Amino acid sequence: MDPVATTRQGTVRGRSRDGIAVFLGIPYAAPPFGPRRFRAPAPAEPWDGVRDALEYGPTAPKRPYRPPLDRLIPDPSVPGDGCLNLNVWTPAPDKGRRPVMVWIHGGSLRNGSANVPLYDGGAFARDGVVLVSVNYRLGVEGFGVFPDAPCNRGLLDQIAALTWVRDNIAAFGGDPANVTVCGESAGAISVAALMTSPRAAGLFHRAILQSGPPHTVSRREGARTVRAMAKRLRIPATAERFAAVDRELLLDAQAAAVGGSDPIGGGPGFHIVADGDTVPAAPPLPEADLLLGCNREEYRLWFVPGGTVDRIGRLTLRLALLKFRVPQRVARLYRAARPGAAPGEILGEMATDLLLRGPLNRLADARPARTFVYEFRWRSPVLGLGACHALELGFVFDTLRAAGDLTGPDAPQPLADAMHRAWVAFATTGRPGWSPWSAERPVMVFDHPGGGQVLAPRDEELRAWL
Active site residues: 185, 298, 389
CB 296 within 8 A of CB 377: yes
Residue 112 backbone phi and psi in degrees, to 5: 90, 170
CB 186 within 8 A of CB 138: no
136/120 Cα distance (integer angstroms): 17
DSSP code, position 367: -
197: number of Cβ within 10 Å: 22
Sign of CA dihedral 275, 281, 284, 285: positive
Q: Is 178 strand, coil or helix?
A: strand
84/223 Cα distance (integer angstroms): 24
25/51 Cα distance (integer angstroms): 10
231/386 Cα distance (integer angstroms): 40
**What is the CA angle 258-262-263, rounded to 5?**
125
DSSP codes joined into one string, 330-359 = HHHHHHHHSTT--HHHHHHHHHHIIIIIHH
146/37 Cα distance (integer angstroms): 12
201/182 Cα distance (integer angstroms): 15
Burial of 329 (0-12, 13-18, 19+ CB in 10 A): exposed
Distance in Å from the first CA to the final CA of the chain = 60
DSSP codes joined into one string, 191-217 = HHHHHH-GGGTTS-SEEEEES-----B
CA 109 vs CA 19, 50, 139, 199, 383: distances in Å: 34, 33, 6, 20, 26
Sign of CA dihedral 256, 259, 265, 267: positive
Q: Is 183 strand, coil or helix?
A: strand
